[in-house]
Chains A and B, each alone.
Chain A
């Protein structure tokens, strides 16, 4: 259909003089929208992310990455001495803590470990007792260094865990102050490393 130029409606349509020809938003709207969104988002992100806590990894990207280190690139720790569970004979879950975790949480973690996995709890000293898994004291952080545990922000002993496969390769090592509550994650990582 071709508009007849003598039709005033056609003229209006051609030159835009009809309802709807102007944009439905004023030109300042996107900038105002952006400003409001930027303030809300900025505050929200600062509140949510904050900074790493004293027990967290200084580099948050290294904390709980969720993927195993490639077998070819993983550090080998065949000589690492852990009580009763020679590394390299079976996969080992090595948990690091500053004090003995609650029995319920530990029981939950142990239940998640695949069959054949050994578990060891590394504490800064040997005063702790009452855990449901072997405890080894690491006052000089020899074990933490051997498996590549980062230092937390407060510079104290690490809280987290490492997973050593049956070839004595460290496939996973992360600072994680919440590890006793991360049964699903620990189960998934240990299962993948088996």
Chain B
């Protein structure tokens, strides 16, 4: 199996746009509609055909538009879906042919009764259908433009990206450095802090402030696809994160430095140490997700919440829910901030500042490509692991039950998963101990 064969998610996303398939659908649609029209015309009811066809066209277009916005890729069977919606809209007419007169409840079939009473009749529906389909054509055209620009920039096309990234090409991580904040003295960074899933550099704000007070030069990026870096990149596997971090470190002429990661950020840190051992002098892994096998990984990651469980189950509901969140990202951030009162507002708001592919690929990396078990059992460089003994998501026993004799373990009593937020002092102490 070639590498290209296993990494072509766009091949599936592009399938609905193949000309041959589209033309076949057009043939089916036109043939079926000619037959239906002839049937209506035989009953002197041509305008009924027109109304229900146009309502069906409007609804199918709306569904295709929503699919594009929420899934970040065009739907399959876009054209025959018009026929399906039309058949649904005209179903009461089939019942009529079978001897059942119309009734008010038949409005459930795309307003079969009420649609005739719209002012302007079929012409109003013609306007609605053309307006919606124009909107869809504009969105699809912008989506194609963005994906084309990404491919031309040497990236894989961004399939599944929502929000503004739907119609705006992602920046290339080869030419755009990750969004980041520098703290402390203006010299080669001493410490690189990497956040976890559904987070941003804000998670490290207190730790970075304390390190800065200790005269440490600190670099805190938003990982690829997260926080202010969510407009960068189209692929988010660990190697892509490492490549983007490498570009960031090059940008700052960084020499050997300590890398601290939290949760998923530990996996990125471990992979960075694997790839660029000369640049990483030590690792501090805070709440690392060390899963023994896929079953345990699914159980632990499932504890991250409903969305994570849907992602792990491979449910399309997950991408749709995430796409909906992207479409209303700003108000969604306010809602999350209002609900998660135990978190600093900026941390809570940034909880939704990521793309669906970034979240999906991060979880996928922890399932299928997790470097942490080997990084802890056989660390390539000096490593400290900081654990919370009240952490339900990455329980301390996952590390303690795993070979860990070659790493230093710091266990924080009463600490949950959000150690950098709730116990910054212990994290700073662990980092400083490794820097000495």
Residues of A within 8 A of B (CB): 1-3, 5, 7, 9-10, 12-31, 33-34, 37-38, 41-42, 45, 48-49, 60-61, 64-68, 178, 181-182, 185, 188-189, 191-192
Contacts and interface: CB of A to CB of B under 8 A. Distances in A.
A138 B19 CA distance: 62
Contact of B239 (A9, A14, A19): A14
B104 interface: yes
Nearest to A185: B43
B134 A45 contact: no
Nearest to B45: A64
Contacts of A22: 147-148, 151-152, 157
Contacts of B240: 14
Nearest to B117: A61
27 contacts: A3-B239, A9-B2, A13-B156, A14-B235, A16-B151, A16-B234, A18-B8, A19-B4, A20-B8, A21-B156, A22-B148, A23-B14, A24-B17, A24-B18, A29-B141, A30-B140, A31-B138, A38-B133, A42-B130, A45-B123, A48-B49, A60-B122, A61-B116, A65-B113, A65-B116, A66-B102, A181-B44
A10 B138 CA distance: 34
A23 B148 contact: yes
B7 A14 contact: yes
A26 to B, nearest CB: 7
Given A20-B11, A21-B156, A181-B44, A13 B102 contact: no
B239 A5 contact: yes
A41 B47 contact: no
Contact of A67 (B19, B101, B129, B235): B101
B50 A48 contact: yes
Contacts of B156: 13-16, 21
A38 B130 contact: yes
Nearest to A15: B154
B1 interface: yes
A132 B104 CA distance: 35
A45 B122 contact: yes
Contacts of B45: 64
A21 B126 contact: no
A5 to B, nearest CB: 6
Contacts, number: 152
Contacts of B342: none
Contacts of B113: 65, 67
Interface in B109-136: 113, 116-118, 121-123, 126, 129-130, 133-134, 136
Nearest to B145: A27
B19 A25 contact: yes
B46 A67 contact: no
A24 B6 contact: no
| Most B-side CB within 10 Å, residue of A18, A29, A33, A42 | A18
A147 to B, nearest CB: 18
Contacts of A12: 4
Contacts of B92: 66
Given A21-B157, A192-B101, 13 more contacts: A2-B369, A3-B3, A7-B3, A14-B156, A15-B174, A19-B4, A23-B144, A34-B137, A37-B133, A48-B37, A48-B47, A49-B122, A61-B118
Contacts of A15: 154-156, 174
Contact of A178 (B44, B102, B141, B145): B44
A18 B154 CA distance: 10
Contacts of B96: 66, 188
A61 B104 CA distance: 14
A20 B148 CA distance: 11
A60 B121 contact: yes
B253 interface: no
B414 interface: no
A49 B102 contact: no
Contact of A3 (B7, B8, B121, B144): B7
B305 interface: no
Interface string B155-170: 1110000000000000
Contacts of B46: 48-49
B37 to A, nearest CB: 7
A45 B113 CA distance: 20
Contact of B155 (A5, A16, A19, A188): A16
Contact of A17 (B129, B134, B154): B154
A68 to B, nearest CB: 6
Contacts of B133: 34, 37-38
Contacts of B150: 16
B3 A20 contact: no
Interface in B33-70: 37, 43-47, 49-50, 54
B157 to A, nearest CB: 6
A29 B144 contact: yes
B44 A182 contact: yes
